[in-house]
C-alpha cells in the first residue's frame, strides 16, 4: 500500500478585534477537505495562532482559543493565512507580529491574507513590488500607506509569486477553494464548494455586485451630481465628450479629473453602471435579456454579454439562473 502524503500544515493567525468570518470561512473549507479522508490520511492539519496565545476576542465578541506564535514552529508551514477586521491596523503596528511574518514567509509555500489582512503582509514588507487586493473600502488607504504595492481594485483574489491576497470577507472562501483546487484537483474542490453552497469560481471581481461607491461619495458635488445623472440616464449618449460638456470642461480635462477622483476612466464607469443596472434587472424582473440590455443602455444583447463577461466573468443568462428572485420567466 502506498504511503499517504504528509498532511499539509495550515496556520491561521488571529488578533484582537479580527473579523470572525475572515478566518472561519477558509478554515471550514479546509476542514471539509478532510471529512472524507481515511483515518490518518487527512490532507491538512491546522493551528489557530495569535501573538501571545490564549483567548482572542473577535470583533463580534466571540473568543477563540489560540496558540502563541512563539510556540508555532515556522518551519514546515504549508499555508499561512491572516484575516482582517477592525483591529487590523493595531495588529499591523505590533512589531513582534510583523517580524514573525517577515521571518516565517520565506519558509512558507503560500502566504495569504483575507480582506484587510493585506495590511499586515504589507507592514511585513511581503507585498513590496507585488500586486495585491483588499476590501474595496480599504483600497485607497492601502495605496496611500504602501505606494510600493500595486493595489488591484476588482479581483476577488490576487496571486503574485507565492503571496495570495483576497478581497472582503467572504472572498476568503473563494481563495480557500482555489488553494484546495490547486492541491486536490477540480473535482474535490467542486465537492467542497457544493457542501458550502457557494460557487467554486465566483463570477467576477469583488466589486461586481455593487454600484461603484467612489463615484457616489466624491467630495466634489459636481462629480457626485454627474454620477447620479449617469445612473438615471443610462440610455443616453454617455461618451466623454457629452459628459465633459455637462461638466463644463474639455474632454481631456474631464477624463483626467474624473480618473483622479474615482480611480477609473469615464468609459469604465459608464460600463459599470450599465452592468449594475442590468444585474439588478436580471435579479428582479422577468424581462428578456434583450429588453434588459436596451433599458440598461447597451447597444445590443451581444454588447451586454461582452460586458458581463468582462466585468463578472459570467453570462447574463447564467447570472439570472443563480440570482433571479421572482418566478422563473
Q: pLDDT tens digits for 112-129? A: 999 999 999 999 999 999
Identify the residue whose cell numbers are 484546495: 180
Rounded distance, CA 27 to CA 315, Å?
Answer: 31
Q: How far is it, in rounded angstroms, from Cα 82 to Cα 134?
A: 12
Hey, CA dihedral for 92, 54, 106, 81, is it positive or negative?
negative
What are the residues whose beta carbons fall under 8 Å from the beta carbon of 228, sequence distance 6 or more? 216
Q: How confident is the model at residue 327 (pLDDT cuts 50, 70, 90)?
A: low
17, 329, 29, 314: which is closest to 170 by C-alpha? 29
Q: Per-residue DSSP letters for 163-202? A: EEEE-STTHHHHHHHHHHHHHH-HHHHHHHHHHHTS-SS-
Q: What's the rounded mean pLDDT across residues 139-143?
A: 95
Task: Quickly name the fold that domain 213-323 has.
Answer: Arc Repressor Mutant, subunit A (1.10.10)
Q: Which fold has domain 8-196?
A: Rossmann fold (3.40.50)
Mean pLDDT over 88-113 rounds to 98
- Measured from the Cβ of residue 41, the count of other Cβ atoms closer than 10 Å reads 12
Q: The cell 516565517 sits on which residue? A: 104
Whether the predicted pLDDT of 190 surpasses 90? no
More confident residue, 216 or 291: 291
Q: What is the pLDDT of residues 198-244, one digit of tens each?
A: 765 554 444 434 445 555 555 556 676 788 888 889 999 999 999 99
SS3 at position 46: strand
The alpha carbon dihedral of 235, 239, 243, 246 has a sign of negative
**Higher local confidence (pLDDT), 326 or 264:** 264
All cell numbers assigned to 72? 508555532
Output the average pLDDT for the chain: 89
pTM of the full structure? 0.70
pLDDT digits (tens, 9 = 90+) for 198-211: 765 554 444 434 44
> Taking Cα atoms as reference points, which of 156, 158, 159 lies closest to residue 206?
156
Q: Which residues neighbour 213 within 8 Å (Cβ) at sequence distance 6 or greater?
A: 136, 137
Neighbours of 51 (CB within 10 A): 18
Domain extents in the chain: 8-196, 213-323
DSSP string, 64-126: EEEEEGGGS-STT-SEEEE---TTHHHHHT-HHHHHHHHHHGGG-SEEEE-GGGHHHHHHTTT
175 CB burial (10 A radius; 0-12, 13-18, 19+)? buried
Amino acid at each position: 500500500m502506498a504511503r499517504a502524503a504528509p498532511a499539509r500544515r495550515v496556520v491561521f493567525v488571529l488578533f484582537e478585534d479580527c473579523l470572525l468570518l475572515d478566518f472561519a470561512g477558509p478554515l471550514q473549507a479546509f476542514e471539509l477537505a478532510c471529512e472524507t479522508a481515511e483515518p490518518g490520511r487527512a490532507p491538512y492539519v491546522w493551528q489557530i495562532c495569535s501573538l501571545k496565545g490564549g483567548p482572542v476576542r473577535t470583533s463580534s465578541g466571540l473568543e477563540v482559543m489560540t496558540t502563541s506564535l512563539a510556540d508555532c514552529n515556522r518551519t514546515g508551514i504549508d499555508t499561512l493565512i491572516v484575516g482582517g477586521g477592525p483591529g487590523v491596523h493595531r495588529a499591523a503596528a505590533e512589531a513582534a507580529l510583523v517580524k514573525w511574518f517577515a521571518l516565517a514567509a520565506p519558509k512558507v509555500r503560500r502566504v495569504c491574507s483575507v480582506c484587510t489582512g493585506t495590511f499586515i503582509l504589507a507592514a511585513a514588507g511581503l507585498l513590496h513590488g507585488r500586486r495585491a487586493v483588499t476590501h474595496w473600502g480599504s483600497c485607497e488607504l492601502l495605496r496611500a500607506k504602501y505606494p510600493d504595492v500595486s493595489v488591484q481594485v476588482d479581483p476577488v483574489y490576487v496571486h503574485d509569486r507565492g503571496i495570495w491576497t483576497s478581497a472582503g470577507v467572504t472572498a476568503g472562501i473563494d481563495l480557500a477553494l482555489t488553494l484546495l483546487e490547486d492541491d486536490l484537483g477540480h473535482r474535490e474542490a467542486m465537492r467542497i464548494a457544493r457542501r458550502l453552497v457557494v460557487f467554486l469560481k465566483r463570477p467576477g471581481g469583488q466589486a461586481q455586485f455593487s454600484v461603484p461607491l467612489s463615484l457616489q461619495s466624491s467630495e466634489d458635488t459636481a462629480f457626485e451630481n454627474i454620477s447620479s445623472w449617469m445612473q438615471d440616464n443610462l440610455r443616453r449618449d454617455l461618451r466623454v465628450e457629452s459628459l465633459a460638456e455637462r461638466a463644463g470642461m474639455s474632454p481631456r480635462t474631464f477624463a483626467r479629473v474624473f480618473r483622479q477622483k474615482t480611480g477609473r476612466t469615464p468609459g469604465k464607469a459608464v460600463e459599470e453602471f450599465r452592468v449594475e443596472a442590468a444585474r439588478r434587472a436580471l435579479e428582479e424582473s422577468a424581462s428578456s435579456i434583450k429588453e434588459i440590455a436596451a433599458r440598461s443602455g447597451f447597444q445590443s444583447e451581444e454588447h451586454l454579454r461582452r460586458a458581463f463577461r468582462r466585468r463578472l466573468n459570467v453570462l447574463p443568462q447564467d447570472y439570472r439562473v443563480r440570482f433571479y428572485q421572482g418566478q422563473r420567466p
